[in-house]
Structure 1
């Protein structure tokens, strides 16, 4: 499966990191680029269950392709979510079902930094995306 353009860009930027400190900095930068959700989008209905941090997610199907927006109160999580969105935005419902979160973060060289709770949280976000896509 070909990666969305944004995901390809993410892979290329993380490829050039020599160590964890550079990756962490880049991760924070991705989080800062994440557009802030409006307060109207931060409701109990859009909050992702199963995340230790507060995470909100909204999605919209445009011409058969999904566009998601999300936000979190935790900086590191914002970065991880930004990278997840880079991987899934523009996919069809069918393609969305095939996304492998651990594999994606492994490709970025970030899998070691995913604690079990962060990993579970990201899987909860992806699960919520899939639920929205199938609704």
Structure 2
């Protein structure tokens, strides 16, 4: 399921002609995400290494990985939504080994994000990997 959603997102990005359209699409994805409960916006869920404020909270059920995410910046909220399409619904054991960099390269994000945003995106991916690894007791 998760792979299908990400492939669909990649196809949408292929269809969009320029980065401005893709940028707007990322922001729209962020707008469509459900709000994260205020009670989850605590220091333990905050992602360090992001210029914006970012919170990620795992939701692991029946061996499948999912998470809630939030940011105070719309483009970052959209990047969280992109990561959600990549990771949500995957078996927990797959999450730490998933090559997020290669997947995100399919979208062309590596070429168009500022170094600050790229660093924040890497920090979010690392947090997701860490949480999944810890949840497995590894």
TM-score with structure 2 setting the length: 0.89
Quote the RMSD (CA, aligned, Å): 1.6
TM-score with structure 1 setting the length: 0.90
1:28 aligns with 27
Q: Could you tell which deviates more after superposition, 111-120 or 54-63?
A: 111-120
What is the deviation of 1:92?
Answer: 2.2
| Superposed CA offset, 1:48-87 (max 9, x none) | 1111110000012111110111010011111111101110
In terms of fraction of residues, the more strand-rich structure is 1
Per the alignment, in what secondary structure is the counterpart of residue 24 of structure 1? helix
| Superposed CA offset, 1:78-114 (max 9, x none) | 1111101110111223311122232222101222112
Q: Where in structure 2 are there 5+ consecutive unaligned residues?
A: none
CA distance in 2, matches of 1:57, 1:30: 16
Alignment of 1:55-134 (within 5 A): 55-134=54-133
Q: Contact 1:93/1:130 (CA < 8 Å) preserved in 2?
A: no
What is the deviation of 1:15?
Answer: 1.4
